[in-house]
Copies of this chain bind each other. A is one copy, B any other.
Amino acid sequence: MRRVAEQLGWRPSTAARALSGEGAATVGFVLARPAHTLGVDSFFLQLVSGIQEVLAERHLGLLFQVAENVADECAVYRRWWAEHRVDGVLVVDPRADDPRPDLLDELGLPAVVIGGAPDERHPGLSTVWADDAGAMASVVDELTALGHRRIVHIAGLPGLAHTQRRIRTLRAEAERRGLAEVQSVTTDYSDSEAAAVTRRVLQGATPPTALVYDNDVMAVAGVAAASELGVSVPADLSVVAWEDSALCRIVKPWLSALSRDSVEFGSTAARELLALLDGGPARTVQVPVPRLIERDSTGPVRAG
């Protein structure tokens, strides 16, 4: 029967199950990051807030689990799906060599990948993503317009797809403009690694005149580390935070930041998953490009 149905292209409607009360009425969310790093990531909190807003309207729960690594994350998906614990999953932190899309395809587990670039090899998965490359290019545009030629990008986790998109874009933009002293340094997203890298590059022979941080907490920590070295922002050093949060506006100077609506990003992803559960087709949805909001931490490069 199942086989015949599949040959006819028929698929059981997970949505019908969920809505009739036969489904799990639950969406899964696994985070393969050390649990102690969650407490400082405002992006994830905002994302989860946005997801919740949409799920709450439909009385759907969010089943949340922290996994040690991606292999464990895959095991969680297998178990949840086998045990009918979830109707679908939201997948974060897409990686360069990512085993998850193949697995989700194999299981037939409805899924939305958050932050991934469009993936033609997995037409069954929905994707919600932002154009990190375009955003990075806009930052380089603005910094070079201010005269900066020595730029360091203090990036997040090296294995993540969006980290790699940002690094590749920075390199390409630098080459295109003939900027030899532009580089990315990856970190674990923590304030402590950001401060350490900031100190190291500012104490180098030809210190950068602009720093781009992959999150708000790192940018705030970086400004504090620079200040301890007597480096003044923005007079000696321009700083851009990737992620605009309350943090960027409660420190002095206020931080110039790439603003994206992470709550809305989460809501969009949740809505796409509900659309899949309602029997709709998988889609690739692009959210608006993060926009550079110039505040007080960016300025013209110091003459000489």
List residues of A whose CB falls within 8 A of some B CB: 26, 35-36, 38-42, 45-46, 48-50, 52-53, 55-56, 61-68, 80, 85, 191, 195, 217, 220-221, 224, 227, 245-247, 249-252, 262-263
Contact = CB atoms under 8 A, between A and B. Distances in A.
A250 B191 contact: yes
A196 to B, nearest CB: 13
Contacts of A65: 52, 55-56, 61-62
Given A53-B66, A56-B67, A191-B250, 20 more contacts: A35-B53, A35-B56, A38-B52, A39-B42, A39-B46, A40-B42, A40-B246, A52-B66, A56-B66, A56-B68, A61-B65, A61-B80, A62-B64, A62-B65, A217-B246, A217-B250, A220-B251, A224-B252, A251-B251, A252-B252
Contacts of A55: 65
Contacts of A40: 42, 45, 245-246
B66 A63 contact: no
A270 to B, nearest CB: 11
Task: Determine which residue in A26, A68, A220, A250 has the highest number of CB atoms from chain B within 10 A of its CB, and name it.
Answer: A250
Instruction: Name A's interface SS.
Output: helix
Contact of A245 (B39, B85, B224): B39
* Chain copies in the assembled complex: 2
Contacts of A245: 39-40
Nearest to A192: B246
Contact of A61 (B49, B52, B64, B217): B64
Contacts of A50: 35
A45 B39 contact: yes
Contact of A38 (B35, B45, B249): B45
Nearest to A190: B246
9 contacts: A35-B56, A38-B49, A39-B45, A39-B263, A40-B245, A40-B246, A56-B68, A61-B64, A63-B63
